[in-house]
Amino acid sequence: MTRTDGYLFDQQQTGTGQAETGQAEMGQAETGQRSEAFATLFDPTTFRHMEGFGLGSGWRCWEVGAGCSSVVSWLAKKVGPTGKVMATDTDLSWAVPSVTRPPVEVRVHHVGIDQPPDEGFDFVHARLALGQAPDRERALLSMIHALRPGGRILIEDADPALQPLACPEETGPEHQLANRLRQVVRTLLAERGVDPAHGRRLPRLLRAAGLRGVGADAYFPVASPDCAALELTTIQQLRAALVAANLATDEEIDRHLADVASGTMDVAAPPLISAWGRKA
């Protein structure tokens, strides 16, 4: 399936034959691996921000573009049986039965296209969802509209243009290759309509939308095994697109994956910008 909305890490694929079915299952597995690697790397900073909002028993929360179960499960434990966690995404293959029980409700939803699933939420969170929405302005306004007065919102998006290097210290050919591949991934994102500088725009967008108490910070992990795991799963999932666009060869990708897997390179992940505000 060809996407025109900018989202490269699609979990859904079409096909009716056995080969297509196998490719779809492989694509879903790669998406799941990337989501797990991203969660391992960035969940701690996400949870730190949520803790700072005083999130607790009885809160009504909307997790936009959930993608995996880690944040949903964490929110469910925090809000308890008297609270509610509405988890939405364009694909719910991650929503296993152990996650989708009260207080969690899951729903297929396209943010910025479909109407908000409810109103009067105490807290709305979106990680890597707003920057890839087809209509970012409408998506943000729909999330704010779903908040009760005084409700809090936390938007998190990567900003690969802010720190464009996979290897900040470039001392050998393997680092040069890694940095070139990081650059062509940015090119691919831009061609699909994804803004690689969207993360840094979040504070201004939240203020422009009328939110109070707007703040933001950035988390930039370097030289972590989790960074390497995220790099491996990202390049593996984008491999076909990179080769088809003549941005990289299979040989270059194989060499890069072997370099990263060796554990001898200090690989950095793109910075994650976290921005928050309160509805007046």
What digits encode the pLDDT tens for the residues 9-21?
443 333 334 444 4
Q: What is the DSSP letter of 8?
A: -
Bridge-based pairing state of the strands 272-278 and 212-219: antiparallel
Would residue 194 count as lying in a domain? yes
Verdict on whether the full-model pTM lies above 0.85: yes
Q: Domain of 116? A: 21-278
What φ, ψ does residue 87 adopt, rounded to 5°?
-110, 120
* Contact (Cβ atoms closer than 8 angstroms) between residue 74 and residue 47: yes
| Inter-helix orientation angle 70-79/18-52, to 10° | 40
Higher pLDDT, 177 or 17: 177
CA separation for the pair 66, 273 (Å, rounded): 17
Would residue 200 count as lying in a domain? yes
What number is the average pLDDT over the span 38-64? 96
Question: So what's the pLDDT on residue 117?
Answer: 92
Residue 1 CB: number of other CB atoms within 10 A?
Answer: 9
Residue 134 belongs to a domain with what CATH number? 3.40.50.150
Would residue 5 count as lying in a domain? no
Token pair for residue 189?
Answer: 């994102």
Question: So what's the pLDDT on residue 5?
Answer: 37
Would residue 7 count as lying in a domain? no
Give the number of C-alpha atoms closer than 13 A to the C-alpha of residue 34, restricted to the C-beta side: 21
Closest CA to 131 of 7, 268, 276: 7
Would residue 129 count as lying in a domain? yes
Would residue 16 count as lying in a domain? no
Would residue 118 count as lying in a domain? yes
What's the structural domain count of the chain? 1
Token pair for residue 100?
Answer: 């989708």
Would residue 151 count as lying in a domain? yes
